Amino acid sequence: MEKLCFQHSVSLFVTMLVILLLLLPRLTLSSSSTYTRPEKFYVNCGTDSNVTYGGRTFIGDMSSGDDDSFSFDNKATDTANNSEPSTSPEIYQTARIFTSHSSYKFQIDSFGPHFVRLHFSAVSSKTELLTARFTLSGASSPSNNHYFKSFTLQNFNETPRVEEFLLMIDSPELKLRFVPDPSSVAFINAIEVFSAPNDLTIPSSDSDVNHLHTVYRLNVGGAKITPENDTLGRSWSQDDNFLYKKDSARNIQSTQMLNYKSATATAFTAPYFVYQTAKTMKNRTSMNVTWSLKVKSYYTHFIRFHFCDVLSNTSQNSDGFYLYVNGQWRVHVKPIGLLTPFYIDVVNVTDGSGLLNVSIGAKDLDKNAGFLNGLEVMEFLTNSDSSDKSSSWVYIIIPCCVAAALVLVLSLLFTVFLKRRRSKNKKKKLDAEAIMWSPSQLYRDSSSNNSPFFSDDSDSPLQLGLKIPFADVLRATNSFDEQRLIGKGGFGDVYRAVLQDGSKAAIKRGKTGSGQGVLEFQTEIQVLSRIRHRHLVSLTGYCEENSEMILVYEFMEKGTLKEHLYGSDDSPSLTWRQRLEICIGAARGLHYLHSGLEEAIIHRDVKSTNILLDENVQAKVADFGLSKLTVRNQDPVGSLSSNVKGTFGYLDPEYMLTHILTEKSDVYAFGVVLLEVLCARPALEHDLANKIVNLAVWAMLHKSKGTVNEIVDPKLTGQIEQDSLRKFMEIAEKCLKNFGEDRPSMADVICELEYVLQLHREAQELQEPLRS
């Protein structure tokens, strides 16, 4: 009941949030669709001289004019003027220096979103600016409600630096406060404060904060854009340095006029130069183009993607393409017309990797991977360090202008707050139960000799009564006698053992000194200690003494499935019926992992060597060192920042390209296993002359030619009926689809394999009278 209530709460929370995003009024300066860039404020700090920069006149903050719309606290301040020749713009030749906390105040004409840009450059005549360290705060006045506070600035040099904020101004006065660290100073060269255009909707993040700080602004496929060439005085950097694979993309461009009449974007959304250039897939050897950007871990980010179809062959993108965000969400992007600009806004909470990854990917193998013209990334500002950063939601924001009643908005916000608190408490509980998925707790310095991998705290999830003394392990394996060695793997060696009670066991001894080995060791214990299923190998104990990583399993008498298919002359051949029953058993084990627990478990290394057979030739899935726990019915998990894990030949192509890991990645690998069972050939065979190395590609090629009989294991000659063979290949083909959404679930695979087995049994029953 508690689980149902929690799921209901989550569903209600998401529903409320969607309604809120649809009904919340557009946060703009005015309701008018027209916008012109305001003439103020542009302040040249530390001087009484006016200068021109980015098409705007910056007024000296020491000017004695009648305009009192901005002012600064001139106590404990100094000025700096660069007397040496410099190539930097004039606004960086002077600076105002603060030796104690001081502030600038601006009288705001109207409420709504405003750009606030702060310009910094350490003037060479003041060496103390190079070591300046201070915090910056933005607040309304006189209420002193913070838009942001304690934004730390340091590490300056003579290269100009711009910090840009987008604040929702709700007061007639804005105060920017500079607070230098002890024995240091604060400074500022120039300030811009002006209202933002009305196509910029700022959604609220989980913490109800809707003030942003710009992190990246990229002109994809084009040159750097300076403030003089931007409609809002923005700077756009080139994107080449952020490509995940440098040779995966090519630049495209057009000099034709843009069509703004049918566009959702305007000339203020991004300049012409952004929409006239783009990047697309270089060739079709890969199916996506990825950009990887360093960001703050667990921060909420507002991301704007700019699109404009400038491809000469528009038919390639008539059906659209996919946009991936950090491996957690996929958006179908469909161009709205040739040379017609549009954009998509996304809110994403990054994981602990410190990377934000975005990709464009093809929908089909014979199509291009789409295009991307520009990318803006802004982080949501927080007023304290206590903001909730544990969630991993992604929201897609469709620009709209719908009026909403204030009472409804407030009630929705209150409801979201209550649901968020409940969700966070539940999440903490789940996190406490799933320590295995936190890599920071898994690595231990190899210099430690006797300290345990896991805490002896009685509340530790690993206090499961499964610990086995190292002395017992030595006795069981005869001190790891080489004659008892029955297997080798990436984690370590496997020995046949006899425990004190006389029962047989398989003992896996991990390689020491490996951080990844520790990860696999703890993950294996956590997964196997919480699952029980007749088609999953059971863990009977573990040992961590003396820096050892030892796992004790039930003994599987018949060894691996692979040994019975190829690579071993000692193992007896399996009949077609046995092979089908093994496939069904393994499928049931995987189905339990995907659906039998509150959290789904993705095995991530399904292959014939990880399917073991007991004395009755019953299949059991083994080796959970690479497994991944996910929350059911939520966004796909995965991260482009992490290495793809698994075994080549079995790896899901969509997972390899996008790093999005789902249960369907296991389904793909299982499809390869089905072909191994039928063909008795490895997933990758490098020793075949003039043949295709990849088993899946090779088998599907024969299926398309209608020559499947030529690839069947010769040992199965006369055992497989054509209906059974045809249906079996159909199942394998479905599992091997390029995209996970086109693959069946393991439950579907079980049903279809059971039907194949039924066809085989019926055919055998018909043949019985003939044999007699």
Tell me which residue of 243, 221, 217 sits closest to 232, measured CA to CA: 217
Query: For residue 63, with 0-12 CB atoms within 10 Å meaning exposed, 13-18 middle and 19 or more buried, which class applies?
Result: middle
Q: What share of the chain is helix, strand, coil (3-state, %, to 5)?
A: 30, 25, 45
Can you tell me whether residue 375 is helix, strand or coil?
A: strand
The Cα–Cα gap between 681 and 608 comes to 11
Specify the amino acid at residue 105: K
Contact 378, 319 (CB under 8 A): no
Residue 319: active-site member: no
**Residue 664 labeled ligand binder:** no
Helix axis angle, 695-705 relative to 722-735, nearest 10°?
130
DSSP β-bridge partners for residue 95: 80
Give a three-class secondary structure readout of 432-447: HHCHHHCHHHCCCCCC
DSSP β-bridge partners for residue 510: 492
Could you give the residue ranges of the DSSP H alpha helices within 186-271? none
**How many CA within 13 A on the CB side of residue 430?**
18
Number of H helices, E strands in the chain: 12, 37
The Cα–Cα gap between 191 and 61 comes to 10
What is the per-residue burial (b if ≥16 Cβ within 10 Å, else e) of 309-327?
bbbeeeebbeeebbbbbbb
Residues across the chain: 772
The Cα–Cα gap between 108 and 226 comes to 27
* Preceding amide of 321 cis, omega within 30: no
Tell me which residue of 120, 232, 205, 511 sits closest to 378, measured CA to CA: 205
Strand 56-60 with 42-44, pairing? parallel
Query: For residue 705, with 0-12 CB atoms within 10 Å meaning exposed, 13-18 middle and 19 or more buried, which class applies?
Result: exposed
The Cα–Cα gap between 221 and 269 comes to 18
Which among 309, 493, 605, 713 is annotated as catalytic? 605
Contact 44, 94 (CB under 8 A): yes
The Cα–Cα gap between 16 and 412 comes to 7
Residues known to be catalytic: 605
Binding positions for ATP are 508
